[in-house]
């Protein structure tokens, strides 16, 4: 079996950066180079001030500090890194297509294809090419065709090694992974490549947790894992709406059903809706694939997960509007949280974007506070919707740095991300500063009902009447 000593990762994003940092940390004998075409991003990865890394993940900066410049490098010299590596991870973005065939559903594979063409062009020695990005089932076939038809007689072995880390817990998820999945060709060279990749993970994970499959099962398992997780959130969120009509309590229900060992307790937290870069994108992709094989019922079944999530986001916004007497024009509404979950600065598909947009449609005066998300990111998210002009977005919504000050004369507060610090705020003081009646709409079930009511708030907790 080939001993791997040099690897390269194309794409220095939320997956490429943390994954490669952990590999470098756990495998001092391997030189890891992470490359990206985005100069700014690479500059940020190389920044002196480790608080300015492009990605915030607990534990990440410590690992980067330990390994950067030793066996972990960030660079824009893509061709050189490809040429030198024995194993190349493709970890570029695979967003939903915004044009042409499959628009709004299929995965856009143009970045992956560019990588494959580049690898074919540059490589002079045999390489193992690892799909780390989430890809539609059978993409490896397309990559193999490009490599074999444009490469220079070099042998390329393709593996699928999807990533299951969640943002905010990326480092822990990588170090203590439930499982690592490696799919490859069922040939001697395919087996050797799978074993070479497995050997890297075996530096810190027990071998029983490293699963080997055929390449198509591995590609499809990633989409299915995300679809199942998102389905659980949509399922519990659908029941949260029913709880609000029946005096049942969603937390009690989650607990009651979660005690059944066949159901299990995780991923049963009702919320304002799931966000993140992947759940929606991957389910849409699954729906598209099913439809393209003529499996209409399968496609409809999974599409319902997205429909329910959209419903939950609008339901929350509509509840705020109707509770505030159906007129929120000019009313000051504070949004606590913009990230799609706590402990990350990622805002992709965050429910907060949709809730803010709905309130702005009603001309509310919206003020956002998030401990980790920048002002420019928040405006970019809103401008991307193209609901109104960028000037109008800046007029209707402001971004605050101090979470307490902004509550003066506010009509309502909505909690959209479950940041721990929100629990520790001086809620009595906030109440005193707000206009009365003072409303809190808790989309994350973060605060205690009895305490909030005792202070005097009109307190709404999603999934509870
Ligand atoms: N974000 C997450 O938590 C997870 C993401 N994934 C999957 O991993 C993949 C990557 O996701 P993220 O890291 O979140 O994306 P990202 O958008 O944070 O990073 C992708 C990077 O690839 C770079 N890139 C694009 N084309 C390139 C090229 N031709 N050459 C060099 N660099 C190029 C971009 O400049 C960007 O910095 C996606 O397929 C995603 O579905 C999988 C598991 C978790
Ligand atoms: O492919 C990916 O991108 C990743 O997607 C998710 O990870 P992530 O999106 O980072 O975060 P999650 O913890 O899964 O949360 C997703 C969304 O669901 C919401 N959620 C989660 C759990 C829950 O009980 N309730 C709930 O509303 C979260 O607040 C968040 O908005 C998966 O958990 C990862 O395994 C996967 O690798």
- pLDDT value for 150: 78
Say yes or no: 201 and 224 in one domain: no
Domain of 200, CATH number, reads 3.40.50.720
The catalytic residue among 163, 244, 303, 365 is 163
Question: Is there a catalytic annotation at residue 428?
Answer: no
In Å, what is the CA distance from 26 to each residue of 22, 73, 166?
A: 6, 15, 19
In Å, what is the CA distance from 431 to each residue of 56, 328, 451, 456?
A: 32, 19, 12, 7
Alpha carbon of 296 to ligand 1 centroid (Å): 30
Whole-angstrom distance, CA of residue 138 vs CA of residue 328: 50
Residue 1 predicted with pLDDT over 80? no
Say yes or no: 170 and 230 in one domain: no
What mean pLDDT is predicted for residues 128-154? 90
What's the ipTM? 0.98
Question: Is the CB of 399 within 6 Å of ligand 2?
Answer: no
Give 162's pLDDT tier (boundaries 50, 70, 90). Answer: very high
Alpha carbon of 462 to ligand 1 centroid (Å): 33
Atom of ligand 2 nearest to the CA of 418: 29
Tokens 């559903």, located at residue: 105
Say yes or no: 356 and 249 in one domain: yes
- pLDDT value for 152: 76
Q: For residue 422, is it within any domain?
A: yes
Range of 267's domain? 215-465
What separation, in Å, do the N-terminal and C-terminal C-alpha atoms of the chain show?
61
Question: Is the CB of 277 within 6 Å of ligand 1?
Answer: yes
Give 2's pLDDT tier (boundaries 50, 70, 90). Answer: confident
Q: For residue 210, is it within any domain?
A: no
- pLDDT value for 379: 98
What mean pLDDT is predicted for residues 390-396? 97
User: Residue with the nearest Cα to atom 13 of ligand 2?
Assistant: 166
Q: For residue 365, is it within any domain?
A: yes
Question: Is the CB of 184 within 6 Å of ligand 1?
Answer: no
Q: For residue 24, is it within any domain?
A: yes
Q: List all residues 6 or more positions away from 334 whose beta carbon is below 8 Å from its beta carbon.
A: 366, 367, 368, 369, 406, 407, 410, 412, 413, 414
Q: Write down which residue in 142, 170, 205 finishes a domain.
A: 205
Instruction: Give the closest residue to 133 by CA, choosing from 109, 114, 149, 103.
Output: 109
Which residue spans within 132-172 are E strands per DSSP? 156-160
Say yes or no: 63 and 165 in one domain: yes
What mean pLDDT is predicted for residues 350-362? 98
Atom of ligand 2 nearest to the CA of 349: 31
30 contacts 204 by C-beta, under 8 angstroms = no
Q: Write down which residue in 151, 173, 205 finishes a domain.
A: 205
**How many domains are contained in the chain?**
2
Q: Write down which residue in 174, 205, 236 finishes a domain.
A: 205
Each residue's pLDDT tens digit, 291-315: 999 999 999 999 999 999 999 999 9
Mean pLDDT of the chain: 96
Say yes or no: 83 and 181 in one domain: yes
Each residue's pLDDT tens digit, 394-421: 999 999 999 999 999 999 999 999 999 9
Each residue's pLDDT tens digit, 433-463: 999 999 999 999 999 999 999 999 999 999 9
Question: Is there a catalytic annotation at residue 222?
Answer: yes
- pLDDT value for 32: 98
- pLDDT value for 65: 97
């Amino acid at each position: 079996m080939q001993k791997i000593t040099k690897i390269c990762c194309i794409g220095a994003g939320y997956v490429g950066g943390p994954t490669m940092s952990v590999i470098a940390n756990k495998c001092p004998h391997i030189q890891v180079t992470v490359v990206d075409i985005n100069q700014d991003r690479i500059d940020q990865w190389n920044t002196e001030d480790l608080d300015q890394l492009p990605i915030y993940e607990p534990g990440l900066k410590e690992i980067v500090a330990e390994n950067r410049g030793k066996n972990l490098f960030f660079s824009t010299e893509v061709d050189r890194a490809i040429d030198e590596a024995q194993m190349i991870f493709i970890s570029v973005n695979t967003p939903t297509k915004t044009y042409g065939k499959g628009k709004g559903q299929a995965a856009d594979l143009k970045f992956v294809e560019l990588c494959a063409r580049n690898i074919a062009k540059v490589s002079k020695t045999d390489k193992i090419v690892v799909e780390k990005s989430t890809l539609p089932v059978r993409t490896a076939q397309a990559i193999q065709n490009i490599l074999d038809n444009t490469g220079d007689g070099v042998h390329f072995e393709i593996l699928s090694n999807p990533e299951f880390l969640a943002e905010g817990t990326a480092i822990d998820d990588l170090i203590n992974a439930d499982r690592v999945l490696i799919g490859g060709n069922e040939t001697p060279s395919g087996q050797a490549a799978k074993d070479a990749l497995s050997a890297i993970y075996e530096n810190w994970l027990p071998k029983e947790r490293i699963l080997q499959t055929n390449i198509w099962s591995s590609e499809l398992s990633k989409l299915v894992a995300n679809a199942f997780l998102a389905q659980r959130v949509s399922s519990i969120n659908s029941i949260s709406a029913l709880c609000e009509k029946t005096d049942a309590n969603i937390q009690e229900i989650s607990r009651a059903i979660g005690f059944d060992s066949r159901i299990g307790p995780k991923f049963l937290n009702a919320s304002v809706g799931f966000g993140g870069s992947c759940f929606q994108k991957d389910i849409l992709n699954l729906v598209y694939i099913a439809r393209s094989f003529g499996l209409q019922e399968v496609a409809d079944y999974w599409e319902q997960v997205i429909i329910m999530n959209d419903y939950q986001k609008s339901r929350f916004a509509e509840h705020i509007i109707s509770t505030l007497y159906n007129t929120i024009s000019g009313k000051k509404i504070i949004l606590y949280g913009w990230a799609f979950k706590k402990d990350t600065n990622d805002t992709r598909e965050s429910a907060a974007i949709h809730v803010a947009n709905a309130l702005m449609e009603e001309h509310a005066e919206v003020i956002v506070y998030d401990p980790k998300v920048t002002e420019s990111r928040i405006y970019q998210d809103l401008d991307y919707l193209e609901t109104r002009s960028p000037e109008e977005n800046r007029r209707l919504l402001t971004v605050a740095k101090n979470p307490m000050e902004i509550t003066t004369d506010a009509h309502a507060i909505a909690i959209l991300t479950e940041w721990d610090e929100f629990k520790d705020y001086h809620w009595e003081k906030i109440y005193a500063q707000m206009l009365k009646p003072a409303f809190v709409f808790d989309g994350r079930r973060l605060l205690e009902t009895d305490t909030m009511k005792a202070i005097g708030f009109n307190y709404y907790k999603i999934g509870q009447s």
